Amino acid sequence: MRLTKFTDNSLRVIIYVSANGDRKVNISEIADACVIPRNHLTKVIHTMATKGLITTTRGKGGGVSMARPPDQLKVGEIIRAMEGVEEIINCETPKCPMARLCELRSILHKGQNAFFAAMDEYTVADLINQPKIFSKPPVAKMQKAR
């Protein structure tokens, strides 16, 4: 199983936001820290907010923050929200001639369930090695020497 770049970026965002504690972080800061293009990041953040993983506030003093405490949000929940839960293979379209005698679909389904069970053992808090490492805004980028 392979996660999409969209989900990878979602996990980066959630780690960064949660590592900042209660401080709201802005999109530019997240883009720089997580090395995600701002246009793509905007789509990621919008989707995450729609799915209730983060909250966003516009205007002065606004930014991105956690919708729930990091120890109450499971990694599997984030992956399901961002990836969806589809079967790994499709034996129906077109109809596989071996579907009646083949067990591959059920074996892959079992593996997928095991993957999500393992991801559900961890919360976002478990993903953070050093909580609040980003408690201050990052230092402004140095200007290029002329």
The CATH number linked to 33 is 1.10.10.10
Kindly indicate the confidence band of residue 131, based on its pLDDT and cuts at 50, 70 and 90: low
Number of other residues whose CB lies within 10 A of the CB of residue 129: 8
Q: What pLDDT is attached to residue 6? A: 97
Domain range for 36? 5-127
Asked if residue 83 belongs to a domain, the reply is yes
* Average pLDDT, integer, range 83-103: 86
**In the block, which residue shows the tokens 């609040």?**
132
Q: What pLDDT is attached to residue 143? A: 46
For the CA atoms of 70, 71, 76, 79, the dihedral, rounded to the nearest 10 degrees, stands at 0
Q: Is the confidence at residue 23, as pLDDT, over 60?
A: yes
Kindly indicate the confidence band of residue 100, based on its pLDDT and cuts at 50, 70 and 90: confident
> Which residue did the predictor score with more confidence, 92 or 78?
78
> Which residue did the predictor score with more confidence, 85 or 118?
118
Q: What pLDDT is attached to residue 146? A: 39
User: What 8-state DSSP symbol labels residue 38?
Assistant: H
Asked if residue 19 belongs to a domain, the reply is yes
**Length of the chain in residues, anyone?**
146
Q: What pLDDT is attached to residue 68? A: 96
Asked if residue 67 belongs to a domain, the reply is yes
> Which residue did the predictor score with more confidence, 40 or 2?
40
